[in-house]
Structure 1
Amino acid sequence: MSTSSTFRTVPPTADVVIIGGGVMGASTAFHLAEAGVKNIVLVERGDLCFGSSGKPIGGVRAQFSDPLNIELGSRSLRAFQDFPHRPGADIRLDSVGYLFLLTTDRQAAEFEVSVKTQNDLGVPSRMVNPDEARELCPYISTDGLVAAVYSPTDGHARPGLVVRGYADAAARAGVTFATHTNVTGIDTAGDRVTAVHTDRGRIACSTVICTAGAWSGQIGDMVGISLPVRPVRRQLAFTKPLTPPAPRIPFTIDFASSAYFHNSDDGLLFGLADPDQPDGFDTTWTPEWLELFRDVARHRAPELADMEVADGWAGLYEVTPDHNALIGRSSELGNFLYAAGFSGHGFLQGPAVGEIMRDLYLDREPFVDISPLSADRFRTGAETRPEAHVV
């Protein structure tokens, strides 16, 4: 089923307008429609999965340091595992686990605390020694490795298939998808949003849900609400097909450098967060970036340093000041909801956040208290504890 708009103008009215057609928007649309909400219009400036969700492979994990992110990750992992049945799509989930490589005693001590918190919440993560880490991932060198952490239920899936799976099910339930449609303004009256303006017409509406990813700050500005999200380019690369084939390995991360690698079709995928990357919406892939990864690989996974690269990709992280998401209802505009600023964790938390947005809209109690993620925390100074920022 097509989920693109085939009309020249948007519907004139809607109960809910969702702005942004990535995993958050698609998940929110699906969960609302599944709950019986009618007259939903999702507006997307490009194609579905146009922004950050367009990354070719996305990690899924419950390994975090704080209970709230652990619960969001765990809930989403269960949804990914159930995706063939609900909503009904193959997302190429591969539960290879996540392997964090630790190179200092301080890192090991901090991860031990996190593992205990994860275990208390039902996540089967565990500390492993360097030799066991190498058994799990034969590419790594144990030189300088102090310890590692492994959770077998983590892994990776295909964001594009997740977005399409949610969107197709939502479209079957009656959601309208207005793709290639730009939001140009939002009307308010008193403490309410009343309409969304687009380059295909005006939509009078009773609720707006902002899931615009790296562009969410611009949407917030249209109604005078601060959604402090910075766009930051992140790049990755794919090797040429490997002969013999690569062994099936965990999603492996050198914690100190943020360099990571894992299986990808007939080769490997490499990634690393460039600490000097300036803010901006540029998504040009620059092969020179690869030298940053190769510098780390020469020591941590030497065989990878000389592998030939076939292609690459660049996308945007949507980063907040404390690297935690913005999820909630505006305190100034009661019918403006938002889910943005996931700082690299959005895809893996998408199913759980879609549930939460449904519950906020329906005035239900979400499965977890998301009040610490209110955008108001940056006004009051009551910031959540920052997550270690990796992938």
Structure 2
Amino acid sequence: MSTSSVFHTVPSDADVVIIGGGVMGVSTAFHLAETGVDRVVVVERGDLGCGSSGKPIGGVRAQFSDPLNIALGSRSLRAYQDFPHRPGADIRLDGVGYLFLLTSAEQAADFETSVGIQNGLDVPSRMITPREARRLCPYVSTEGLVAAAYSPADGHARPGLVVKGYADAASRAGVTFATHTAVTGIDTSGDRVTAVHTDRGVIACATVVCTAGAWSGQIGGLAGIDLPVRPVRRQLAFTEPLTPPAPRIPFTIDFSSSAYFHNSDDGLLFGLADPDQPDGFDTTWTPEWLELFRAAVRHRAPALAGMRTTGGWAGLYEVTPDHNALIGRSGKLHNFLYATGFSGHGFLQAPAVGEIMRDLYLGRTPCVDISPLSADRFRAGSEIRPEAHVV
């Protein structure tokens, strides 16, 4: 990206050092710079967006089960819809909707409750019949399908284009991007961070923002702060070009298995969360994983099970114990802020979270109450109800 710069040395001091140049880091940088915050440095150990934000397509939705995640998703979705004007970039947003396929009365009841909450927050989701689900997505088999939940406002976009759009705008506003620069230590004094050590020099700073994704636990550890984030590999695959072309379908998820699929260029994209995937930073794509997906869709979308694929991709989820994000200010080091642990929901919440990090830095009241997302909730025993582990 044009904003990436390999530094022989980093700036000697900064008002804000953001650790992590994925979508959360560049969103935070953009929102700070837009407000006139000077001397912001983003430190990234690789290229911008080289971690979880590098995935080929990211879902954007407001279909969640609790008001806080609904608000973050809905606010971010509006920001993505406005992205061509602010900050000014085409992110290939496609409002195809999200379709959850439900195979039990219990699932249908839970989703009906969630749809009621969503509707109360102006999200146009609705419960639909199996026949309607098949009309929206002709690949779906209605056998054994009890109901479905659909929101036409949701869809998907290109995370790489979002990272570039935010980063280019932030760079124009004066943000420094130090790529291929690794954080090696964090100095503290009393209740404050005083400096960030990198392999290209030391940056004295007034505030640190950790947006390091799956690596946030390590960054927090350098400052003596517990950020309970574990890395978990997730894999996806692409079909070969389809003839005739695939119909335009929603982002479709079989809720029972977590198998999902949607349009991707001239074919389809397949994904599924392997429940037996061990923790770790391995991002090797293993074609054998595809058999899990095929087994899951043979009954729910049988035509997909026989489609040929041309390759795939593996990346990392940053997972917390309750599958909800960590957003807030450290109670131990008052100038250490964090936004991490999104458990697969980071891309779709990034615009709203960038605003929140800006407001925390400026001492403003954020657009939503993020106190339930404090990293201290696990020590206090006040975990949030876990969100379903889907994209």
Q: Mapping of 1:165-176 within 5 angstroms? A: 165-176=165-176
Helix, strand or coil at the partner of 1:168: helix
Helix, strand or coil at the partner of 2:232: strand
In 1, the alpha carbon distance for the partners of 2:356 and 2:348 equals 14
Which residue number corresponds to residue 319 of structure 1? 319
Which residue number corresponds to residue 379 of structure 1? 379
Helix, strand or coil at the partner of 2:53: helix
1:33-59: per-residue Cα shift (whole Å, max 9, x none)? 000000000000000001111100000
Which residue number corresponds to residue 83 of structure 1? 83
Helix, strand or coil at the partner of 1:145: coil
Are the aligned partners of 2:6 and 2:181 in contact in 1 as well (CA < 8 Å)? no
Which residue number corresponds to residue 210 of structure 2? 210
> One-letter code of the match for 1:281?
F
The question of 1:266 aligning with 2:256 is answered: no
The question of 1:37 aligning with 2:13 is answered: no
Which residue number corresponds to residue 178 of structure 2? 178
Helix, strand or coil at the partner of 1:100: strand
CA-CA distance at 1:384 after TM superposition:
1.5
1:75-97: per-residue Cα shift (whole Å, max 9, x none)? 00000000000000000000000
CA-CA distance at 1:2 after TM superposition:
2.0
> One-letter code of the match for 1:316?
L
Are the aligned partners of 2:119 and 2:125 in contact in 1 as well (CA < 8 Å)? yes
Which residue number corresponds to residue 106 of structure 2? 106
The question of 1:364 aligning with 2:364 is answered: yes
C-alpha RMSD over aligned residues: 0.6
Q: Mapping of 1:18-167 within 5 angstroms? A: 18-167=18-167
CA-CA distance at 1:7 after TM superposition:
3.2
TM-score (norm 1): 0.99
- Paired-residue identity, %: 83
In 2, the alpha carbon distance for the partners of 1:4 and 1:234 equals 26
In 2, the alpha carbon distance for the partners of 1:76 and 1:228 equals 25
In 2, the alpha carbon distance for the partners of 1:189 and 1:232 equals 34
Which residue number corresponds to residue 17 of structure 2? 17
CA-CA distance at 1:390 after TM superposition:
1.2
Which residue number corresponds to residue 192 of structure 1? 192
> One-letter code of the match for 2:117?
T
In 2, the alpha carbon distance for the partners of 1:173 and 1:2 equals 14
In 2, the alpha carbon distance for the partners of 1:91 and 1:318 equals 23
1:329-383: per-residue Cα shift (whole Å, max 9, x none)? 0000000000000000000000000000000000000010000000000111111
In 1, the alpha carbon distance for the partners of 2:164 and 2:202 equals 26
Helix, strand or coil at the partner of 2:90: coil
> One-letter code of the match for 1:326?
L
CA-CA distance at 1:297 after TM superposition:
1.3
Helix, strand or coil at the partner of 1:45: coil
Which residue number corresponds to residue 225 of structure 1? 225
In 1, the alpha carbon distance for the partners of 2:84 and 2:35 equals 19
CA-CA distance at 1:288 after TM superposition:
0.2
CA-CA distance at 1:293 after TM superposition:
0.4
In 1, the alpha carbon distance for the partners of 2:103 and 2:115 equals 17
Q: Which runs of 5+ in 1 are unaligned?
A: none
Helix, strand or coil at the partner of 2:96: coil
CA-CA distance at 1:16 after TM superposition:
0.2
In 1, the alpha carbon distance for the partners of 2:45 and 2:298 equals 41
Which residue number corresponds to residue 276 of structure 1? 276
CA-CA distance at 1:296 after TM superposition:
1.1
Helix, strand or coil at the partner of 1:90: coil
> One-letter code of the match for 2:341?
G
Helix, strand or coil at the partner of 1:312: strand
Which residue number corresponds to residue 249 of structure 1? 249
In 2, the alpha carbon distance for the partners of 1:357 and 1:64 equals 22
Helix, strand or coil at the partner of 2:256: coil
In 2, the alpha carbon distance for the partners of 1:6 and 1:257 equals 43
In 2, the alpha carbon distance for the partners of 1:6 and 1:244 equals 45
In 2, the alpha carbon distance for the partners of 1:144 and 1:385 equals 28
The question of 1:7 aligning with 2:44 is answered: no
> One-letter code of the match for 2:274?
D
In 2, the alpha carbon distance for the partners of 1:46 and 1:26 equals 14
Q: Which runs of 5+ in 2 are unaligned?
A: none
1:158-180: per-residue Cα shift (whole Å, max 9, x none)? 00000000000000000000000
Helix, strand or coil at the partner of 1:246: coil
In 2, the alpha carbon distance for the partners of 1:308 and 1:6 equals 40
CA-CA distance at 1:6 after TM superposition:
4.3
Are the aligned partners of 2:5 and 2:177 in contact in 1 as well (CA < 8 Å)? yes
Helix, strand or coil at the partner of 2:95: coil
Are the aligned partners of 2:52 and 2:213 in contact in 1 as well (CA < 8 Å)? yes
The question of 1:292 aligning with 2:299 is answered: no
CA-CA distance at 1:265 after TM superposition:
0.1
Helix, strand or coil at the partner of 1:364: coil
Helix, strand or coil at the partner of 1:269: strand
CA-CA distance at 1:109 after TM superposition:
0.3
In 2, the alpha carbon distance for the partners of 1:49 and 1:131 equals 40
4+ runs of 1 displaced by more than 3 Å?
Answer: none
Q: In terms of mean alpha carbon deviation, does 380-389 or 309-318 score higher? A: 380-389
> One-letter code of the match for 2:332?
E
